[in-house]
Structure formats: structure tokens, C-alpha cells
């Protein structure tokens, strides 16, 4: 029984080998007479290297005629959504490095392109079809170039080429494509300065590409600044402290950080810590550096604000029985905060702009995105777009600082309504109203004519 099973397995194995040999023998006769070499598309992404669907591009297809074969026609077929209708096709045949002109009839029909050669293309030649102005499907994806070829009057399936990766067409890309077709945009870009620094197509793309980096900048400065305020207040109090050691630590900390460039501090932190096997995420490390650097400047701002409070405030607090800590918390610091708000806001603006230095150490913030996009496009428009993103934050803050400073200056000069004066003015107005409505007294009645310049008897008073 076992020997019979073994014999059956051996027979099946023998039959499989025979079938494989037969397939190998038949394969050459079933080989393609036209072997596809490649199918590629020219990038049409403005400022990039991708192929976007729905936007005109150039498709290049190449195939080699096998030995002993004659090809009289080729039909390229692509997925639905492809459009060849507005395209132009250049036919070329190559024999090694020798280029040969090929005549033929080209018929674009939607997603297919039919090419019929005037004379059959012989063996060993490489057929090249360069289709200019065709569009891939808008939804994107991997597009396979297939179709058929005609050999000896018979149509045979064309060997599929490697898929072409295409990007889905977005509203942003449609807008860029729309701008490409506008006459005023062409006239605008023809001016060298405008085309290099303010190219509309690249600016539209830059706003979308740089937005993420702008959010990173805002995140870093918004998270770092509260820590900078706390550190700055601590070192400000240490610097005005009566203890020499605390003053010395604060002076060294403030002077070193204010006396060295932020760029140098960034390099020390980003390259020095890894040498000590301390690895921190770039964004977190950027927050730490910005917080430490800003705290030194804020410390001086707070110190100047505290020292600007008149000595009488301390004496008044002491007369009420307040201790030094209570005086500082409830009397001095509230007045200090009010006075330093404009300066602190200006320092926040400086810190926000200084985040651009983090691009030098690989933090993917606004300037890093602008730098990468500029290197791809060869145009300065991304940097101008980055400047606009900075201005979106800085201009409103500058306006706020101006308004606050004007109000504080007006208050210092005694401008604006004062509560007591306003109440007194309202009381006088009420008294006048009530007196006007009451009946005049006898003395007022007798004196009224003299005030009016007439005698009590109705004549004109002789006033000398």
C-alpha cells in the first residue's frame, strides 16, 4: 500500500516536470513581438517633482521591436479619466544612438491613443512616442499604460509598463493650473523682479506648504514664553535681593545670556547635549532654548519695572503693617505688570521672529519649510510668503503695543475722566437743573433786572 502511494507521488512529480518543460518550449512562440521598455511622465507639480492628475503633462512611451518582427501600429490605453484629446504626439525610432524619423497617423480618442505607422517599423528598432499635453485621471493613483500593437495585420496585447504614480488633483492645484493659463499672470511673471519674488503660482503653493511650519513656530513660542516669564521674574527678584549670592547668580545668568548670540546658544544646546548622550526631541529642545534666552531679557524688564515703583508705595504698605513679601505680591508686582506689558509684548514679538534661527539645526519650522521649497523651485517667493506669515502675527501685536503705550502715557499725564471730578461735575449739573426749575426768591427777583442791565422801573440802567 505504501509503495503504491509513493509511486503515485512520483508519477505526479514527473507529470509536473513535463508540463513545465512544455510551457518553456511554448513560451518563446508566445513572446511579445514588441517589448515595452518604459513609460514615464514629466513632473507637472509647480515647485515639486510629482505628476498631478488633471493637469497637462508629457507621457513618454518606449518599446523595442523584437527580431524578425514588423510593427505597423501601436495603441496606448490608460484608465478612464485620462485625456489625450488635446495632445500632440511626436514619433521617433532609434537604432542605437541613431535617430530616425517615423511618419504615421495619430488618432487621440479619450483615454486611448492610436498610432498607425506609414511604413512598418522593423526589428531591433526602439519606438518612442512622446505625447505632449495629455492629462492623467484627476483622482490620481498608480496609472498603468497598456494597450495593443499591430503585427502582420493582427492586434496583440501590449506588454504593460511599470505603473506611473500620480497625485490626486486638489482645489489648490486647480487654482495653480488656472493661474498658469491667465494672461495677466504671464505678464506679471515677465517682469524679472515680480517673477522671482512674487510669482503668484508659487505663492499659492507656498501658503499651503508653509502653514505647518508657521504652526510649529507659534507652538514653540507660545509654550516657551510662560516658562520664560516665570524664570525672568525669579531672576529679577534674585537680582534685587539683599543676598549677595543670589544677586551674583542672577547677574551672571542675565549677562551671559544677553551677551551671547541666540544662534550660539542654539548650537551649544543642540550639538552639545547629544555629545553628553542627552537626546531630546528637536521641538522640545527648541522650546527650552527659547524659554531660557527670553527669560534673561524678561528679568531685566521686570527688574526695571519693579524699581520704577515709587518708594512711597513701600512706605504706605509698611504703614499698613504689610511684610516685604506681602508688599511685593499685593502692591508692587500688580503695578509692575501694568507698566511692563508693552515691553513684554515687544519681547514676545522678538522671540517669535527668533524661532527662525531654529531652522539652522533642523527644526521643521517656518523658515525650514521656506528654505526647502526655495531650493526646489529656484524662486525666492517662498521666503516672501514666510515674511507674510510672520507679519500676520507681528503687525497686530505691534498695533496692540502702540495702543497700550498711548493709553498709559495719557494716564500718566492725567488724561481721561477721573471718578471724583466726574461725580462733582454731575452734582453741579443737577443743582443747576433743580435751581432753574424752582421759583425765584424775592432777592433774586429784585437783583435780576440789574444783572440784565435794566432798571427796576423798566428803563435802561445807567451803568457807569
pTM for this one?
A: 0.68
**Strand partners of residue 154:** 151
Closest CA to 94 of 70, 129, 42: 129
Segment 125-152, tens digit of pLDDT = 999 999 999 999 999 999 999 999 998 8
Q: Region 256-272: what's the mean pLDDT?
A: 96
**pLDDT for residue 240 is more than 70:** yes
Under the banding of pLDDT at 50, 70 and 90, the label for residue 449 is: very low
Distance between CA atoms of residues 145 and 159, nearest Å: 9
Segment 158-210, tens digit of pLDDT = 988 899 999 998 888 889 888 988 999 999 999 999 999 999 999 999 999 99
Burial (Cβ within 10 Å: 0-12, 13-18, ≥19) of residue 282:
middle
Write down the domain spans for the chain. Answer: 31-168, 200-409
Average pLDDT, the chain: 85
**pLDDT for residue 431 is more than 70:** no
DSSP calls for 356-394: GGGGGGT--SHHHHHHHHHHHHT-SHHHHHHHHHHHHHH
Instruction: Please provide residue 427's backbone torsions phi and psi, each rounded to the nearest 5 degrees.
Output: -65, -40
Distance between CA atoms of residues 86 and 37, nearest Å: 25
The answer to whether 207 and 271 have CB atoms below 8 angstroms apart is no
**pLDDT for residue 4 is more than 90:** no
The CA-based angle 323-324-330, given to 5 degrees, is 85
Please tell me the CATH code under which domain 200-409 is placed. 1.10.3720.10
Exposure class string for 333-371: b at 16+ Cβ within 10 A, else e: beebeebbbbbbebbbbebbebbbbbbebebebbbbbbb
Strand segments, DSSP code E, in 48-139 are 57-65, 71-77, 88-95, 98-101, 104-109, 112-121, 126-134
Closest CA to 139 of 52, 75, 30, 16: 52
Residue-level pLDDT at 108: 94
Q: Which overall architecture, per CATH, does domain 31-168 show?
A: Sandwich (2.60)
Amino acid at each position: 500500500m505504501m509503495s503504491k502511494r509513493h509511486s503515485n507521488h512520483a508519477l505526479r512529480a514527473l507529470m509536473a516536470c513535463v508540463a513545465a518543460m512544455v510551457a518553456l518550449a511554448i513560451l518563446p512562440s508566445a513572446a511579445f513581438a514588441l517589448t515595452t521598455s518604459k513609460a514615464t511622465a514629466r513632473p507637472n507639480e509647480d515647485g515639486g517633482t510629482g505628476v498631478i492628475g488633471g493637469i497637462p503633462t508629457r507621457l513618454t512611451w518606449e518599446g523595442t521591436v523584437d527580431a524578425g518582427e514588423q510593427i505597423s501600429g501601436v495603441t496606448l490605453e490608460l484608465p478612464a479619466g485620462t485625456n489625450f484629446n488635446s495632445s500632440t504626439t511626436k514619433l521617433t525610432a532609434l537604432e542605437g544612438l541613431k535617430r530616425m524619423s517615423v511618419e504615421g497617423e495619430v488618432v487621440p480618442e479619450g483615454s486611448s491613443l492610436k498610432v498607425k505607422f506609414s511604413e512598418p517599423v522593423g526589428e531591433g528598432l526602439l519606438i518612442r512616442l512622446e505625447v505632449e499635453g495629455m492629462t492623467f485621471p484627476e483622482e490620481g493613483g498608480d496609472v498603468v499604460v497598456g494597450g495593443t500593437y499591430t503585427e502582420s495585420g493582427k492586434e496583440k496585447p501590449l506588454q504593460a509598463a511599470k505603473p506611473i504614480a500620480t497625485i490626486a488633483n486638489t482645489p489648490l492645484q486647480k487654482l495653480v493650473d488656472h493661474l498658469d493659463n491667465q494672461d495677466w499672470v504671464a505678464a506679471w511673471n515677465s517682469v524679472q523682479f515680480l517673477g522671482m519674488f512674487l510669482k503668484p503660482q508659487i505663492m499659492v503653493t507656498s501658503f499651503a506648504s508653509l502653514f505647518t511650519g508657521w504652526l510649529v513656530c507659534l507652538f514653540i513660542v507660545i509654550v516657551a514664553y510662560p516658562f520664560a516669564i516665570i524664570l525672568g521674574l525669579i531672576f529679577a527678584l534674585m537680582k534685587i535681593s539683599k543676598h549677595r549670592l543670589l544677586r551674583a547668580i542672577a547677574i551672571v545668568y542675565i549677562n551671559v545670556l544677553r551677551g551671547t548670540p541666540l544662534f550660539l546658544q542654539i548650537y551649544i544646546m543642540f550639538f552639545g547635549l547629544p555629545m553628553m548622550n542627552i537626546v531630546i526631541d528637536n521641538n522640545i529642545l527648541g522650546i527650552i532654548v527659547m524659554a531660557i534666552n527670553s527669560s534673561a531679557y524678561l528679568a531685566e524688564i521686570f527688574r526695571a519695572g519693579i524699581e520704577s515703583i515709587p518708594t512711597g508705595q513701600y512706605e504706605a504698605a509698611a504703614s499698613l503693617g504689610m511684610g516685604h513679601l506681602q508688599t511685593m505680591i499685593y502692591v508692587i508686582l500688580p503695578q509692575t505688570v501694568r507698566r511692563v506689558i508693552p515691553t513684554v509684548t515687544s519681547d514676545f514679538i522678538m522671540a517669535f521672529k527668533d524661532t527662525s534661527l531654529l531652522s539652522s539645526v533642523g527644526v521643521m519650522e517656518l523658515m525650514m519649510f521656506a528654505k526647502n521649497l526655495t531650493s526646489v523651485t529656484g524662486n525666492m517667493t517662498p521666503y516672501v510668503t514666510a515674511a507674510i506669515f510672520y507679519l500676520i502675527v507681528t503687525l497686530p501685536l505691534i498695533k496692540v503695543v502702540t495702543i497700550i503705550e498711548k493709553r498709559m502715557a495719557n494716564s500718566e499725564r492725567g488724561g481721561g475722566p477721573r471718578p471724583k471730578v466726574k461725580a462733582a461735575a454731575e452734582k453741579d449739573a443737577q443743582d443747576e437743573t433743580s435751581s432753574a426749575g424752582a421759583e425765584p426768591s424775592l432777592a433774586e427777583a429784585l437783583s435780576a433786572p440789574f444783572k440784565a442791565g435794566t432798571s427796576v422801573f423798566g428803563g435802561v440802567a445807567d451803568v457807569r
